[in-house]
C-alpha cells in the first residue's frame, strides 16, 4: 500500500514536471523542470527497490546529462528570446498531436497489462545488473563518463574562446 502511494506521488510529480516543461518558454526553467522529472523518476525506482537504477538515474541523467544541457544553454546565443511565440494554429495542432499520442500510449499500456509474463521470463536483480555494469562492461561505463566530461570541457572551451574574441 505504501509502495503504491509512493509510486503514485512520484509518478504524478514526474508527469506534472514534464507537462510544465513542455509548455515552458524559458529553456533554463524547462531544463530545471526536466531535472525535477528525472529526480521523481529516481524516486519511483527507489519505491520499487531498484536502488542501482535510482543511483544511475541521479548520476547519469540528473547529474551528467543535465550538466550538459545547462552548459549548452549557456553557450548558445540568446536568439530564442527574440523569436515570437508559435501561432495559435501550431499550438492547437501540437496539443491535438499530444492528445493522440497520449491516447495511443494509454491504449497500449492497458493492452500490456493484460499480457502475462512468459514462463521463460526471469527477473534480474540489482546485484546482477551491478555485476554486469562493474564487471564485463566497466570499460564502456567509464568511457561514457569520459565522453560526457570531454564534452563539458569542450563546451567550456568554446565559451571561453567566444568571450576573449569579443
Q: What pLDDT shows up at residue 123?
A: 59
| Burial group, residue 24, by CB count within 10 angstroms (0-12, 13-18, 19+) | middle
Q: What pLDDT shows up at residue 13?
A: 92
**Cα four-point dihedral sign 125, 130, 135, 138:** positive
Whole-structure pTM over 0.75, yes or no? no
138 vs 49, residue with greater confidence: 49
* Stretch 26-46: mean pLDDT: 87
60 vs 149, residue with greater confidence: 60
* Stretch 126-153: mean pLDDT: 73
* Stretch 68-72: mean pLDDT: 77
Q: What pLDDT shows up at residue 110?
A: 74
Of the chain, the percentage scoring pLDDT greater than 70 comes to 79
DSSP 108-146: HHHHHHHSPPPTT--PPPHHHHHHHHTTTTHHHHHHHHH
Site of grid cell 534480474? 124
Q: What pLDDT shows up at residue 99?
A: 82
Q: Do residues 28 and 73 lie in contact, with contact meaning Cβ atoms separated by under 8 Å?
A: yes
Amino acid at each position: 500500500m505504501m509502495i503504491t502511494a509512493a509510486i503514485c506521488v512520484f509518478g504524478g510529480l514526474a508527469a506534472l514536471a514534464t507537462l510544465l516543461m513542455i509548455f515552458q518558454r524559458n529553456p533554463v526553467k524547462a531544463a530545471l523542470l526536466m531535472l525535477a522529472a528525472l529526480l521523481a523518476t529516481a524516486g519511483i525506482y527507489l519505491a520499487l527497490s531498484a536502488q542501482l537504477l535510482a543511483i544511475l538515474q541521479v548520476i547519469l541523467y540528473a547529474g551528467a546529462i543535465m550538466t550538459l544541457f545547462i552548459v549548452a544553454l549557456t553557450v548558445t546565443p540568446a536568439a530564442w528570446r527574440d523569436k515570437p511565440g508559435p501561432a495559435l494554429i501550431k499550438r492547437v495542432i501540437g496539443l491535438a498531436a499530444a492528445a493522440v499520442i497520449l491516447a495511443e500510449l494509454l491504449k497500449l499500456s492497458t493492452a500490456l497489462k493484460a499480457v502475462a509474463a512468459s514462463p521463460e521470463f526471469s527477473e534480474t536483480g540489482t546485484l546482477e545488473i551491478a555485476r554486469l555494469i562493474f564487471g564485463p562492461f566497466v570499460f564502456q561505463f567509464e568511457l561514457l563518463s569520459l565522453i560526457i566530461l570531454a564534452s563539458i570541457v569542450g563546451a567550456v572551451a568554446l565559451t571561453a574562446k567566444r568571450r576573449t574574441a569579443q
